[in-house]
Amino acid sequence: MYPSRVKLRCILPLASLVLLGASSLQAASIYTFDVTGISNSAIIPAAYGNRISGPSDAAGSYGTTDGIYTPNIAVLYGAVGEDPNLWTTGYGNLTNIFFNDADNDTTMTITWTADAGFLVSLLSFDLASFIDAGQTLANPAITVLDGSNNVLWTQAGPLAVSGATHNSFSPGVTASQLKLVVNLTGLATVSDDIGLDNITISQSADTSGVPEPGTAWLALGAAGLLWGWKRASGFKKSSLQR
């Protein structure tokens, strides 16, 4: 029986599992737009979805994929000329949605900004029309940009948006800032009949090529364990040779 071999078999799987666990944790929040006291055409509170730290706060409630949420992500609704509001039902089969209430406007915008040292990811969202027959978005129908207005993801048009159910999208893009823009060009007086819901974002550490402190310490610890095994193994071999 060689104790050093037993140690190696135990150490390597343990180190791998610990490192994997440290790197795989990712906070995620779902904007359900279940805002406290919601009513049709109500202005969305600026605090809703801003630095989400739990299932609910004074502004409303949220979903999550893992129970961790996104406390290091700030949100901004709308852009110049837009009127970011809420609606309860009627947009396909969605309940409680976000829309731009400004008729004849050409965009609907939401911007997320991560704190220093963090990144934000836009994982998925739903889109629906208030008009039963649906509506068609021009090209590009939907765009996601970073803080420098570089296009990270786009959904080509013309895009038929359902008024009976909804359309789902999964951009899966990450940056320190993300801007989701829905193209309402050409919809004229019914530009307010396109709604967003169930927006899922996540946050993660911005390592930028530098190991996360926790991961670095774990890696160092694993290296130390391996060094200790090699030293013990060398000692055992030397003893046997004698």
Mutual angle of helices 213-241 and 3-24, in 10-degree steps:
170
Contact in structure between 187 and 135 (CB atoms under 8 Å):
yes
Cβ contacts of 44 within 8 Å, gap of 6 or more: 33, 35, 77, 84, 85, 86, 98
Are 65 and 30 within 8 A, CB to CB? yes
- Cis ω before 140 (30° cut-off from 0): yes
* Domain 26-205 top-level CATH class: mainly beta
Q: Using CB atoms within 10 A of its CB, is residue 1 exposed (0-12), middle (13-18) or buried (19+)?
A: exposed
**Nearest Cα residue to 202 out of 86, 63, 34:** 63
Each residue's pLDDT tens digit in the chain (242 positions)? Answer: 444 444 334 434 433 333 333 334 568 999 999 999 999 999 999 999 999 999 999 999 999 998 999 999 999 999 999 999 999 999 999 999 999 999 999 999 999 999 999 999 999 999 999 999 999 999 999 999 999 999 999 999 999 999 999 999 999 999 999 999 999 999 999 999 999 999 999 999 999 866 544 444 444 454 454 445 455 455 444 444 54
What pLDDT does 208 receive? 87
